[in-house]
Amino acid sequence: MSKQPDSDPESCLDTAFRYLSYRPRSEFELYSRLTRRGFSPHTVRATLEKLREQGLVDDPSFARFWSSNRQAFRPRSRAMLRSELRRKGVSANIIAEVVQEVDEAASARRAGRGKAQRLTTLDYHAFRRKLGTFLRQRGFSYEVAQQTIDDLWQERDRDA
């Protein structure tokens, strides 16, 4: 007779290790995934405690990883990063600490640079409109977006 998945702590731990093998996860993400998988809340809490003791679940480290990864590969504004971390169940004080380290202007330039390179045939108004929309969709304020657009337009003129 096989064990019910919701009562098997070993199976729960194995499943958690598998989830963590792809990328770090917040405690909330793991809790949600494991309970959705059919494990009892009691078993999941015990598993999370073991993972915490081993240093494999650590929300501050996860938040720093997420922020660093986002800024390197898919730059977002502080507001968008804050929202993503909140959805992942990270506490507000950890989010505030991590988000304050983000340089909004540098993130906007990194995000906009690739898009600007694909807009080389456009005149200034079309460039401004398309790049502005792109940056606003990533959560950057109007002021940051406009400064970035001006900087990237001037950069484009220098390179031409």
H or E element in which residue 26 lies: none
Annotate 75-108 with b (16+ C-beta within 10 A) or e (fewer): bbbbebbbebbeebbbbeebbeebbeebebeebb
| Cα distance between residue 107 and residue 145, in whole Å | 11
Q: What is the pLDDT of residue 2?
A: 42
79-93 pLDDT, tens digit each: 999 999 999 999 999
Amino acid 137 reads: Q
What mean pLDDT is predicted for residues 72-76?
A: 93
- pLDDT(64) > 70: yes
Q: What is the pLDDT of residue 7?
A: 72
Virtual torsion, Cα 73, 75, 81, 83, nearest 10 deg:
-100
The per-residue pLDDT of the chain, averaged, comes to: 93
Q: What is the pLDDT of residue 1?
A: 36
> Is the domain defined by 5-53 classed in CATH 3.30.70?
no
pTM of the model: 0.85
3-class SS letters over 30-60: HHHHHHHCCCCHHHHHHHHHHHHHCCCCCHH
Residue ranges of domains in the chain: 5-53, 59-99, 104-159
DSSP 138: T
3-class SS letters over 65-129: HHHHHHHHHCCCCHHHHHHHHHHCCCCHHHHHHHHCCCCHHHHHHHHHHHHHHCCCCCCHHHHHH
123-155 pLDDT, tens digit each: 999 999 999 999 999 999 999 999 999 999 999
What mean pLDDT is predicted for residues 37-53?
A: 95
